Amino acid sequence: MEEIKIHGIYKHFKGDLYIVEDIAYNSETDEKMVIYRALYGDNKLWCRPLNMFLEEVNKNNQKYRFELQNIKSVRE
């Protein structure tokens, strides 16, 4: 399983971008949850189980539900 990059920018298979804020734990089940913020609109904060965040979907030319983006600085 891929490791999540905190503060990494991820693209959802539907096209929007999100920044991973952190990993949290469900207080009832101890399940790992990914906390991520939309980089569009009102910048809502979302959470999703880690295994769902990383699952394969094979949709819209993207293998995974969320894929880490390699965004270069304009200063490089």
The predicted model scores a pTM of: 0.89
Total domains in the chain come to 1
Distance CA 71, CA 43 (A): 19
pLDDT at position 64: 95
Percentage of the chain beyond pLDDT 90 is: 86
φ, ψ of residue 51 in degrees (nearest 5): -65, -30
Q: Which two tokens stand for residue 70?
A: 């390699």
Q: Is residue 32 part of a domain?
A: yes
Q: 19: exposed, middle or buried (C-beta count within 10 Å: 0-12, 13-18, 19+)?
A: middle
Please choose, from the candidates 45, 47, 40, 36, the residue with its C-alpha nearest in 3D space to the C-alpha of residue 9. 36
- Please report whether residue 31 resides in a domain: yes
16-46 pLDDT tens trace: 999 999 999 999 999 999 999 999 999 999 9
What pLDDT is attached to residue 2? 66
Supply the mean pLDDT for the chain: 94
Domain that holds residue 23: 9-68
55 belongs to a structural domain: yes
